[in-house]
Chain A
Amino acid sequence: MRIRLGAIAALAVAAWLLPYQLNSYAMHVVNVMLLYAILSVGLGLCMGIAGQINLAQVAFFGVGAYATAVLTVKEGMGFWTAAVLALLATAAIGLVVGTPALRVQSHYLGIVTLGLALAFTNWVTNSTLAGGAEGIPGIPRPTLPGVDLSSDYLFYYVELALFAVTLVFGLFVVHTSLGRRMRAMRDDSLAAGAVGVEVPALRMTAFLLASVYGGVAGVLYSGLIGYVAPETFSIANMFLLLAMVIIGGRQSLVGCVIGAISLALVREVLIDYPTYAQVAYGTVVVLTVVFAPTGLAGLPVRLRGLLHRRTTATASSGLTPFRPYDPAGTTGEPDAPMLAVRDLSMHFRGVKALTEVSLEVPAGQIRGIVGPNGSGKTTLFNVVSGLYRPTAGRVVLDGRDVTAARPFALAHAGIARTFQNLRLFSALSVRDNVLVALDPTRASGTWRYLVLPVGVWRRDRALRREADALLDRFGLAAFADNLPTALPYGIQRRVEIARAMAARPRLLLLDEPAAGLNGDEVRQLCDIVRSIRDFGVTVVVIEHNMGMVMSLCDHVTVFAHGAIIADGPPAEVAISPEVIEAYLGESMAMPAPVASEVQG
């Protein structure tokens, strides 16, 4: 920490003294470089942190620059008034460009944003308002009382200050609640929704952030250069920007800055050979995605990973026993149904995964759901947790109809779940995985970042303590800072349950929690699930491990072919002919001396 502070101080001093070492041309180059750095940080937030492909960043840059130009030159406004209005305009455009992200992702989003960026260049090239292909010259230099900004040297300090503010704000976002939820959404939007992250609102926030950063850079650009023209905001420059972010390391804002500065330097060195520079950075982009997908910023971690590969393998030694919850009486009347499913059907293009299924789970019960593969168990979970919209039927949670609600709304209403094939946020530490679910912050509370950053910080520290307490309860304290993918499978399973419990659910859905666990781990799992129930949480568990189902569950529902074929206490269900037939085949049901064996 001290080394880091020292390094930051040294960098700050160096940045402060830099102009004294440079001639006026070099100063100008550095000024442009800083703009690219701001743009890259914005793009990094949107693409690297929130995972939203954004090929319109250069258009945001352009909107900011052009709006300033039009407002000062054509409307005769003062620079700073125009700057504020330009930022608002960019933010509005950012929201418009982000809207498609609500419907499409990945390459679809890529082409849509790229198309909109092209639409922007097309507009400025043709519009008389924007000066057509010639652009708008004669933008006045901004003035500050007491500082002569007409000098590139002094303008540098304005840029430097704004760059520092935007970078620090970006880092603040990344390392607190908002950024954590964005990263969770990037790693696995399905799981993020299931722990209560409002995915649509956060996608819009990502584009809003990117556009504001673009706007800041644009305003500064028009003030610095005094002239805007379409080619500055071309697709080629968009790709250059992209290369900066990828080469630097899109998941680290500092990496984005390093990428921006180094590529800008390379471009400057090869300024007489621009096409060779282009070949070079294109090649580096390809090599980066294939060999170092985390970019320059990720290299130290990767190198360390190579050196210390052995230490992670023995990590399981840190697992401590689960500390049971304090038993609490069930909330509400004991026999009121926590979950009621009525006549639920789910069809996929003619395939009937569920047919008129009805079941009720009383509060405080551990309900087992068993059945052969493909009998509709996981589909039931997916409908209840809001991933699928049912073809027909209703889902009622504690007396409230929640059919077809969005996953995050269901998470807020008290449903938590785990997934059959583990869906942990792979690039988030174990603590952060838990924090995302623990975090009650809503997207509507994002304004606090602007008004009350200290409050956000305090709240985050409190949450962190809470997360550590929870990890401690689950015996995972030793792994708080590990990435989940580096942990043994059994521990990952436990992390997923801890994450589900962090959301303080009333109903917990476990999808094959024992899959891949050894006998000892299964016993620990049973203890954990019982304690969770005693804590007042209703549990529904899909499981193939029949031994576990028999000993753990109060009540078992058996599925076959998308319908319920048996329902009752485990001992009864196990000897029902329908179940034996479903599992073992017809004639095995005939000799039934098992009845006496199950009494015990």
Chain B
Amino acid sequence: MQVFLQTFIGGMSLGAIYALVAMGFSLVYRTMGLVNFAHGSVVMIGAYIASTFYLSVKLPFALAMAVAIGVTGLIGIIIERVLRPLENKDFDLMLIGTIGFGIVLEALAIIIWGATGRAVPSPVPAAPIDLGGLRIRTYDLVVLAIAAAATALLVYFLQRTKRGAAMQAVAMDHQAATAVGIHVGRSNAMAFMIGAGLAALAGGLVGPLLYVSPAMGGLLGIKGFAGAILGGFGSIPGAILGGLGIGVIDSFAAGQFQGYSELVTFLIFTVIIMIRPTGIFGERTVNRA
């Protein structure tokens, strides 16, 4: 039981990161039907910018994160603007286009920061808290708290603000949204920006947990996307549950199968998707002839 709980908690903090990545995927997909395969690379860029400003410029951790969020938000806007002609048209092409952006971002990261990665020290004291025999790293708690706060903010924005409501309305029916006076293009750009901001948040937070390297984006992106799909693509609560789920599966797979954890995680993911393609909170869509 002790081991089980320890593994579970271990999975939660990375799971929270995946959840943030998954939320970015889902938000963008939900508002504009775009699957952003460059999302993982945006996470990586976010991690680099945050760590650069934290380590080299010596900004406080929180401020470094804010800078990262700002810059990646801009990247998000650029991606959206370039691929706009394909929106709601050719899904597969758009997907490949974002993969192209991912390739570019990764190469740019290598040019700017070099191919070798860097370790980021934890911004909070490293001594773990002992809770009835369970050892919890303080930074894990920080990650969980920030992820929870970000989720709460996002939900508040979507549920309680006019712009948030408008963004959802655009996703549901862009023609009706236009008719009530919403600027669909602007709303989409904002969704993309928020998605990229979430990616930067995830990247900044994951720095002290993993090693920051140009290759980190691929895996984080894929696992975040897997989380989003697991929860039901496009659903915010689904993204949170799915992201945490992938984190926990990962953690158990690492405990049981050591090096083969990724193999096991993706096999489990594949099986789940085949059994339930719409995920946990997914909506059944009806084929229209």
In this complex, which of A120, A284, A285, A420 has the most chain B Cβ atoms within 10 angstroms of its Cβ?
A285
CB closest chain-B residue, reference A417? B289
Known: A103-B274, A107-B35. A243 touches B103 (CB 8 A): yes
Cβ-based interface call for A88 (8 A): no
| Interface positions of A from 88 to 138, Cβ below 8 Å from B | 99-100, 103-104, 106-108, 110-112, 114-116, 118-120, 122-123, 125-126
Contact indicator per residue, chain A 415-428, by CB within 8 Å of chain B (1) or not (0): 00001100100000
CB closest chain-B residue, reference A126? B259
Contact indicator per residue, chain B 56-87, by CB within 8 Å of chain A (1) or not (0): 00000000000000000000000000110110
Cβ-based interface call for B96 (8 A): yes
State in angstroms the CA–CA spacing of A212 and B102 once bound together.
Answer: 28
Cβ-based interface call for A348 (8 A): yes
CB closest chain-A residue, reference B274? A103
Nearest-neighbour CB distance to chain B for A417, whole angstroms, equals 9
Chain B hits for A112, CB < 8 A: 269-270, 273
Chain A hits for B115, CB < 8 A: 275
Residue contact A118 to B262, C-beta cutoff 8 Å: yes
Cβ-based interface call for B129 (8 A): no
Known: A104-B274, A282-B101. A419 touches B289 (CB 8 A): yes
State in angstroms the CA–CA spacing of A278 and B41 once bound together.
Answer: 14
Residue contact A107 to B97, C-beta cutoff 8 Å: no
Nearest-neighbour CB distance to chain A for B195, whole angstroms, equals 15
Residue contact A122 to B263, C-beta cutoff 8 Å: yes
Contact indicator per residue, chain A 260-289, by CB within 8 Å of chain B (1) or not (0): 000000000000000110110111111011
Chain A hits for B226, CB < 8 A: 111, 115
Known: A279-B108, A348-B286. A286 touches B274 (CB 8 A): no
Chain B hits for A497, CB < 8 A: none
CB closest chain-B residue, reference A186? B92
Cβ-based interface call for B50 (8 A): no
User: Which of these, A106, A282, A381, A423, contacts B91 with CB under 8 Å?
Assistant: A106
Chain B hits for A242, CB < 8 A: 96, 99
Chain A hits for B105, CB < 8 A: 282
CB closest chain-A residue, reference B283? A349
Cβ-based interface call for B111 (8 A): yes
State in angstroms the CA–CA spacing of A531 and B285 once bound together.
Answer: 39
Cβ-based interface call for A387 (8 A): yes
Residue contact B274 to A99, C-beta cutoff 8 Å: yes
Residue contact A239 to B99, C-beta cutoff 8 Å: yes
- Among the 9-residue stretches B4-12, B132-140, B154-162, B217-225, the one with 4 or more Cβ atoms under 8 Å from chain A is B217-225
User: Which of these, B85, B92, B287, contacts A53 with CB under 8 Å?
Assistant: B92
State in angstroms the CA–CA spacing of A235 and B86 once bound together.
Answer: 25
Residue contact B229 to A122, C-beta cutoff 8 Å: no
Residue contact B83 to A381, C-beta cutoff 8 Å: no
CB closest chain-B residue, reference A117? B266
Chain B hits for A419, CB < 8 A: 289
Nearest-neighbour CB distance to chain A for B120, whole angstroms, equals 22
State in angstroms the CA–CA spacing of A36 and B259 once bound together.
Answer: 30
Cβ-based interface call for B119 (8 A): no
User: Which of these, B95, B261, B263, contacts A106 with CB under 8 Å?
Assistant: B95
CB closest chain-A residue, reference B100? A285
CB closest chain-A residue, reference B41? A282
Residue contact A108 to B277, C-beta cutoff 8 Å: yes
Chain A hits for B93, CB < 8 A: 289, 293
State in angstroms the CA–CA spacing of A110 and B277 once bound together.
Answer: 13
CB closest chain-B residue, reference A240? B103
User: Which of these, B258, B259, B262, B287, contacts A190 with CB under 8 Å?
Assistant: B287
Residue contact A111 to B92, C-beta cutoff 8 Å: no
State in angstroms the CA–CA spacing of A282 and B226 once bound together.
Answer: 23
User: Which of these, B111, B233, B277, contacts A279 with CB under 8 Å?
Assistant: B111
Cβ-based interface call for B110 (8 A): yes
Known: A115-B269, A243-B103, A290-B85. A122 touches B274 (CB 8 A): no
State in angstroms the CA–CA spacing of A276 and B83 once bound together.
Answer: 22
User: Which of these, A114, A123, A289, contacts B222 with CB under 8 Å?
Assistant: A114
Residue contact A246 to B289, C-beta cutoff 8 Å: no
Residue contact B277 to A289, C-beta cutoff 8 Å: no
Cβ-based interface call for A382 (8 A): yes
In this complex, which of A103, A108, A288, A423 has the most chain B Cβ atoms within 10 angstroms of its Cβ?
A108
CB closest chain-A residue, reference B91? A106
Residue contact B107 to A115, C-beta cutoff 8 Å: no
Cβ-based interface call for A378 (8 A): yes
CB closest chain-B residue, reference A293? B93
Chain B hits for A387, CB < 8 A: 287, 289
Chain B hits for A289, CB < 8 A: 83, 86, 93-94, 96-97, 100
Residue contact B289 to A190, C-beta cutoff 8 Å: yes
User: Which of these, A108, A118, A276, A420, contacts B266 with CB under 8 Å?
Assistant: A118
Cβ-based interface call for B186 (8 A): no
Residue contact B99 to A290, C-beta cutoff 8 Å: no
Top-6 shortest CB links A-B: A285-B100, A282-B103, A282-B104, A278-B107, A126-B259, A115-B266
Can you give 25 A-B contacts (C-beta < 8 A)? Answer: A53-B92, A103-B274, A103-B277, A106-B92, A106-B95, A107-B35, A110-B35, A118-B219, A119-B267, A126-B260, A246-B100, A275-B110, A275-B115, A278-B104, A278-B106, A279-B104, A279-B111, A282-B101, A282-B104, A282-B105, A285-B103, A290-B82, A378-B289, A387-B289, A423-B289
**Which residues of B does A touch, CB under 8 Å?**
35, 37, 82-83, 85-86, 90-97, 99-108, 110-111, 115, 215, 218-219, 222, 225-226, 229, 233, 258-263, 266-267, 269-270, 273-274, 277, 284, 286-287, 289
**Which residues of A does B touch, CB under 8 Å?**
51, 53, 99-100, 103-104, 106-108, 110-112, 114-116, 118-120, 122-123, 125-126, 190, 235-236, 239, 242-243, 246, 275-276, 278-279, 281-286, 288-290, 293, 348-349, 378, 381-382, 387-388, 419-420, 423, 511
12 A-B pairs besides A289-B86, A290-B85 with CB distance below 8 A are A53-B95, A104-B273, A106-B95, A107-B35, A108-B233, A116-B267, A118-B219, A122-B263, A239-B102, A279-B111, A378-B289, A381-B289
